[in-house]
Structure 1
Amino acid sequence: MKSQTFNAATTWFSADAHFGHRGILKMSGRPWDDIARHDEDLIHAWNSRVRPNHDVFFLGDFAMNSSAERCQQVFARLNGKKHLIIGNHDGPRHIGLPWASEPADLRTVHVDGTRIVLCHYALRMWNGSWRGAIHLYGHSHGTLPGTSRSCDVGLDCWGYRPVGLAEIRERLAATPEQPEEQRPEDDGQ
């Protein structure tokens, strides 16, 4: 798929909602004791930022232990044009939702001139990593620290809400560069 260009003011990123998954409350230490309240609060937090004409890149694990009907109900209540980067818990009932673009395992987009490589899983290297491209991921629920060029956009890392590029850039700027991010010197050979 060819990379598309999006506007930072209307583009959001998120991952790992796990709608309907009671086990995520304890597993990730989420501050709810009721999965119905969890789901309602996540929907409210999403819609408090995302407008119907905005784009949201959801980097996997939309729901778990939810029927196809429940997935459809939650999906329909979430604002925005939603794009799925497939996670390990995304099966046919999630992939078959009416996403704004074809679900993919890996995708590159441009947001206000920034090349962004999207994957559910954290990558050590990605296309363009030494040419300014950043990488966004989920899956780790905040247990895998980001780097100066990669960031976990999962709900557990961002107050249980989608995050925009400006906030991501701030976090990247405050994170030390890792050895693998340092470009090898060109010795002219």
Structure 2
Amino acid sequence: MGFVTKWYMADPHFGHEAALHWETTPRHFQSTEEMDKAIVDRVNERVGETDLLFILGDFAVSSDPEYVAHVFNELRGRKVLILGNHDLDSKGRVKAAIAGLPWDVPPVHAMETKDGGKRLYLSHYAHRVWPAGHHGAFHFYGHSHGAIPNVGRSRDVGIDCADMDFGPRRFDELTAGMLEIEDREKHLISNEIAVAMEDKAIERWALAQLCKMPEGDLDRLFESDIRSVDVRELRAVLAVLQGVKA
């Protein structure tokens, strides 16, 4: 198979009456049928028949298996489900109406994939840390309905987040602003490090010793393209410098 476009969204909550009246993120539709149709339409406007649609949990809350199957079949694309709390029964098992659908792969609680050459960790819940996060991997999640701030290379892809507009988005759309913010922070920290080294008359080799890291690793931080640098490494170097008396 050739190139496949991947799409991401979380928390459609098909058939969920209560979702229309949530206090923090109400969905301004007149009925669940109107809400469900709007979500299906937005998916089908963007997703091709052979594209992959990753749904990061809480696919459907309706207790009618025929209706759940109907909505599933209305959605274009090869569908992959990352399980959310509403996809499970009271004993933690995948609901029969969900398990019986022809997913592209069996539903799982979390998954790693790649998009645009970047590693990506998918789960219904937000993580403070995630696989390969310290090597630049990204993390998409749902569940929180936009209520918690995005951190680093992680973000909420719930359809009721402001920039999701009740439909799926591609990796490049979801990460563009994230990388720009991260790059600005890296530039600011790099400038602070340079100023502190000059003020405290610390040579690079001495800073490497203070940071207990090979000088070559420190050189990489200062000389690599800013986008390839881990912002946490820069923060750690700055913290060491801030602890040195002038």
| Structure 1 residue runs without a partner (length 5+) | 1-5
Secondary structure at 2:27 match in 1: coil
Contact 1:141 1:156 (C-alpha < 8 Å) held by counterparts: yes
Give the RMSD, CA atoms, in angstroms: 2.0
Contact 1:147 1:175 (C-alpha < 8 Å) held by counterparts: no
Q: Which has the higher strand share?
A: 1
Contact 1:19 1:66 (C-alpha < 8 Å) held by counterparts: no
Q: Percent identity?
A: 37
Aligned residues: 178
Moved over 6 A (4+): none
Contact 2:19 2:27 (C-alpha < 8 Å) held by counterparts: yes
Q: Which has the higher helix share?
A: 2
Q: Which moved more, 1:49-58 or 1:91-100?
A: 91-100
| CA deviation map 1:121-143 (0-9, x unaligned) | 00000110110100000000111
Measured after TM superposition, the shift of residue 147 of structure 1 is 1.7
Q: Which moved more, 1:117-126 or 1:95-104?
A: 95-104
Measured after TM superposition, the shift of residue 51 of structure 1 is 0.8
| Structure 2 residue runs without a partner (length 5+) | 89-94, 186-230, 241-246
Alpha-carbon separation, structure 2, partners of 1:127 and 1:182: 15
| CA deviation map 1:76-119 (0-9, x unaligned) | 01000000100000032113311101211010001121100000
Measured after TM superposition, the shift of residue 175 of structure 1 is 4.5
Which of structures 1 and 2 has the larger relative contact order (alpha carbons within 8 angstroms, sep 6+)?
1
Contact 1:86 1:95 (C-alpha < 8 Å) held by counterparts: no
Match of 2:44 in 1: 47
1:10 to 5, 29, 36: 5
Q: How does 1:28-43 map to 2 (within 5 A)?
A: 28-43=25-40
| CA deviation map 1:38-97 (0-9, x unaligned) | 111110011001010100110000011331111100000100000010000003211331
Alpha-carbon separation, structure 2, partners of 1:85 and 1:171: 24
Secondary structure at 2:62 match in 1: coil
**Residue 152 of structure 2 aligns to which amino acid in structure 1?**
S
Q: Against the structure 1 CA distance between its residues 174 and 31, is the aligned structure 2 distance closer, same or farther, given a 3 Å change threshold? A: farther
Q: How does 1:104-115 map to 2 (within 5 A)?
A: 104-115=108-119
Normalising to structure 1: TM-score of the pair?
0.87
Contact 2:11 2:142 (C-alpha < 8 Å) held by counterparts: yes
Alpha-carbon separation, structure 1, partners of 2:146 and 2:99: 24
Normalising to structure 2: TM-score of the pair?
0.68
Q: Which has the larger radius of gyration?
A: 2
Alpha-carbon separation, structure 2, partners of 1:141 and 1:119: 14
1:65 aligns with 2:62: yes
1:163 aligns with 2:169: yes
